[in-house]
Structure 1
Amino acid sequence: MIVAGSTYGMQLLWVLLLSCFFSGILIYVYGNYTLITGETALFAFKKHLRWGKVIAILIIIGIAFGQWNSLMGIMGISANIIYEIFAIYFPQIVQYKYETVIVIAIAVTAIFYALLLVGKYTFFEKILVIFVTIMGLSFLISLFMVYPLPSDVLHGLVPSIPEVQGGKMLVAAFVGTTMAAATFLSRPLFVKGKGWTIKNRKEQKKDAIVAAILVFAISAAIMAVATGALFYYGKPVTQVLDMVNTLEPVAGKFALTLFFFGTLSAGLSSIFPILLIVPILIADYQSGKLDTSSKQFKRITAFACLFALIVPIFGSNPVEMQILSQIFNVFVLPLVIFGILMLVNNKSLMKEYRTGIGINVGLIAALFFSLVISYNGILALTNYF
């Protein structure tokens, strides 16, 4: 969102709006299916769909590849942001940037792994709520200091793709971020983790709607802040340091620190679910139940933690890596949508709870959208490499 806002202004707001709209539908449908049938996503794919085992395995491999690559970028960005915050107030550490970033990355990874070993959904949820609240408040407050022109916001709702190098890549990355397949597939297990039953259908629906609205509001605020603070000054973000050089003279140290804390919270709130997602999907495929105290869970999350250190250790550009990794998330999206479309229209599974025409139209539209974005992602990667 920061890169998009700083590079293209509000031009990609329409992509964000569509992604969040379809995300709300998919969050609701996946949660609703679990409340009605008691089954989780990949377990149901394997059990009820023709070629379901193959589809489920392809989804696990695709999401693991996309999410773990994303984890490298996020850890690199988060470690660099923490370093930059320290460097603002303690300039003497600048000469030890590489060493400091690695130490920070290792410390963050160790803390998160230790938190994962606590092993209860309610605890994970509380941690995420704290990070996301800080992120949301930071950018919403920043929005009062730097904001885009209303005309640019309106123009951003008109579909267009930036006709420049990297434009197609950012569109695909947008969808990979806000319409992530991992979000929908993990929904059933989180619904079970909250202890919801068929009696909580209305609550689950409301929860899905609120989730989609909040994702749009916070993401749009981030893009808007980047537009107001960076785009109008012709300062696109390609490195974490770009935010420091541009924002400090424009907004001052306080606003810069606020902006950084919001960005850091965005990164840290993403690390938790990414570390969880692969063991969640494997447990889903195996039995439909997640055991966070199992050796399998601890080994997979430990490997993911080590994987996260690749970008900080090799000193790669974390911003570029993060954008690139999000593109890979869109390629499994059509399978994820197609699978649930088949399940919710299976009368023997849904029984008296029929899937309405509106939901079906929404799912078909989401499937078409995901296919277009996947094709766009292939073109973007072809041009990149």
Structure 2
Amino acid sequence: MTSTQLSFKDKIKKGLKDFGPAFFIIGYVVGTGSVTSMVVSGANYGLSLSWALLLSCFFTYFLLVSISKLTIVSGDTLMYNFKKAFGKPVTIFIIVALLVSIVSSVIGVMGVVAEVTMEWISVKTSISFLNAPAVSIFFICLLIGLFWTGKHENFIKAMSIMVGFMALSFIATSVMVVKETVTNISDFFPELPHGDNSGLVIAGIVGTTMAGVCLASRSILVQEQKWGIKDLKTENRDAMSSMALTFFISLAIMISATGTLYFQGIKVNDATDMMSALGPWAGDFALTLFTLGIIGAGLSSIFPNLLLFPWLIADYTGTERNMKKPLFKALVVIVALSGAIVPFFGGKPVWILIASQALSPFVMPLITLFLIILLNKTEVMKEYKTSIWMNIALGATLIFNIYMLYVALTGFMGYF
């Protein structure tokens, strides 16, 4: 009996270990940036931009599979492979571009977290001495303290549980919206208004799903899992499950926002405008549930962001990812402190966050092109060169990324 129980536990542990990278992808992608992009899209455009979500999840799957295979076969991480094959300058350019995405994401996420938290405090409590800068400093110090002491695993798990509750709430709300709506299904897909700047939102949806930073970290996580050639099927299944869950959770958020905000004529320009998105299902508890979910999603996505720049440096140099190095500790603190910019100096955190997600398409065509070249190099892939079907899929992904670069450029020009 005991041996059977141990065997069952071992199977569960192995399953969780095998899907570790998938959980990281889901936890990183379905964060405050994703919630914000999907809520803004649903509130302002209904489900008219859901095609961008579907295609970005579809093409990201091929990128995840390809990056994982490259890492497994070559034994090297993505940035190190880029440096060896294409030289230092272009690889440094990609890392700097990813750094801009990391920092801008931290700025936007903490701005949203602070604004939502302050709204909850003003509505639900009588506390009057707190403000957004104080709230942001508290959360920043908490994250730095957890990193410094190394006691972050249980905290991240707790944050993930909060995000899970919010995700389930959005799923329940989306079911209620579809079930109880008195409008035609076509009303969920309104025609986009002429001259409206939907390009930035489209780029934000794609950028938060097909995040360049997330794809680069995928290579690192696969290496840490110590996956080999025999694990290629596991890696494939892991990538598929992560993208399927990402799509369904993100779509549920978009549907919820369509039913609760778009049909009510409520546009989202500030973080507080998003707080009604869970109204039908959660009732009076919606404000608290959304706040807890945003805090959980925000902190659980900021923490990996703090680690990603040191990870990328270690990836580039091919050295050990020792986060106790003074340089890495200093970089973590600097990136964390950037989160105080919006609370202290002002700005619209919702649009700053969407703009930060929309930066990802600027570097994705280059990453995709380099990936295609490496996957077809015999000296890198040996007998495991990519198939013709995967080449076709990656070629389509490259075309999609080039188009998204154009959409992002026009979106930024239209906004500014």
2:155 and 2:215 map into 1 onto residues whose CA distance is 17
1:303-342 alignment runs, 5 A limit = 303-342=334-373
**In the TM superposition, what is the alpha-carbon distance from 1:165 to its structure 2 partner?**
2.7
Q: Say if 2:222 is the partner of 1:185.
A: no
**Structure 1: tracts of 5 or more residues without a match:** none
1:62, CA displacement in angstroms? 0.9
Given that residues 229 and 247 in structure 1 are in contact (C-alpha distance below 8 angstroms), is that contact kept between their aligned partners in structure 2? yes
Other structure's SS at 1:230 match: helix
Distance 1:350 1:118, change over 3 A: farther
Q: 1:256 to 1:122 in 2, by over 3 A?
A: closer
Moved more, 141-150 or 351-360: 141-150
Q: 2:394 & 2:139 partners in 1: Cα distance?
A: 38
- Residue of structure 2 equivalent to 1:368: 399
1:177–1:245 distance in 2 versus 1, CA, 3 Å: closer
Q: Determine the C-alpha separation between the residues in 2 that align with 1:367 and 1:121.
A: 37
Shift of 1:104: 1.7
Q: Contact 1:169/1:377 (CA < 8 Å) preserved in 2?
A: yes
1:17–1:53 Cα change, 3 Å: same
For the aligned residue pairs, the C-alpha RMSD in angstroms reads 2.6
- Deviation at residue 179 of structure 1 after TM alignment: 0.7
Match of 1:104 in 2: 135
Shift, 1:41, TM fit = 0.5
User: What is the aligned counterpart of 2:322 among 271, 282, 291?
Assistant: 291
Q: Distance in 1 between matches of 2:70 and 2:51?
A: 29
Are 1:27 and 2:61 an aligned pair?
no
Q: Which moved more, 1:286-295 or 1:306-315?
A: 286-295
User: Corresponding residue for 2:185?
Assistant: 151
> 1:136 and 2:167 equivalent?
yes
Q: Give the whole-Å Cα distance in 2 for the aligned partners of 1:208 and 1:185.
A: 14
* Alpha-carbon contact 1:8-1:231 (below 8 Å) kept: yes
Using the TM superposition, give the Cα deviation of residue 248 of structure 1 relative to its aligned residue in structure 2, in angstroms: 5.9
Q: Distance in 1 between matches of 2:165 and 2:276?
A: 23
CA contact (8 A) 1:161 1:168 kept: no
Match of 1:232 among 263, 266, 278: 263
Instruction: Determine the structure 1 residue equivalent to 2:17.
Output: none
Distance in 2 separating the partners of 1:349 and 1:43: 12
TM-score, scaled relative to structure 1: 0.89
The question of whether the paired residues in 2 share the 8 Å contact of 1:64 and 1:278 is answered with yes
The answer (yes or no) to whether the contact 2:260–2:276 under 8 Å persists in 1 is no
Residue 384 in structure 1 maps to residue 397 in structure 2: no
Secondary structure of the structure 1 residue equivalent to 2:57: helix
* 1:46 alignment partner, one of 83, 87, 90: 83
1:72 equivalent in alignment to 2:107: yes
- 1-structure distance, mates of 2:160, 2:187: 28
Q: What fraction of aligned residue pairs are identical, expressed as a percent?
A: 37
Change (3 A) 1:248 1:123: closer
The question of whether the paired residues in 1 share the 8 Å contact of 2:275 and 2:290 is answered with: no
Instruction: Note the residue ranges of structure 2 that are not aligned, 5 or more in a row.
Output: 1-37
- Correspondence for 1:84: 119
Once the two structures are TM-superposed, the CA of residue 155 in structure 1 deviates from its matched residue by 4.4
Report the CA distance shift for 1:198/1:151 in structure 2 as closer, same or farther (over 3 A).
same
Q: Deviation of residue 73 (structure 1)?
A: 0.8
Q: How far apart, in 2, do the equivalents of 1:259 and 1:180 lie?
A: 24
1:243-274, CA deviations, whole angstroms, 9 ceiling, x for partnerless residues?
34787699631233333333333322321222
Alpha-carbon deviation of 1:85?
2.6
Give the conservation status (yes or no) of the 8 Å contact 1:169–1:327.
Answer: yes
Once the two structures are TM-superposed, the CA of residue 379 in structure 1 deviates from its matched residue by 1.4
Q: Which amino acid aligns with 2:113?
A: S
| Distance across 1 between alignment mates of 2:363 and 2:309 | 14
Query: What's the offset of the Cα at 1:18?
Result: 0.3
Q: State the distance in 1 between where 2:236 and 2:280 align.
A: 45
SS of corresponding position for 1:330: helix
| Mapped partners of 1:36, 1:128: distance in 2 | 35
The separation in 1 between residues aligned to 2:224 and 2:277, in whole angstroms, is 43
TM-score, normalisation: structure 2: 0.83
Taking a change above 3 Å as real, the CA distance of residues 171 and 243 of structure 1, as seen in their structure-2 partners, is closer
2-side partners of 1:278 and 1:111: how far apart? 19
Q: C-alpha separation between the residues in 1 aligned to 2:194 and 2:91?
A: 36
CA distance in 2, matches of 1:167, 1:291: 42
Q: Is the 8 A contact 1:237 1:243 kept in 2?
A: yes
Inter-partner Cα distance in structure 1 for 2:387 and 2:152: 31
1:86 maps to amino acid:
I
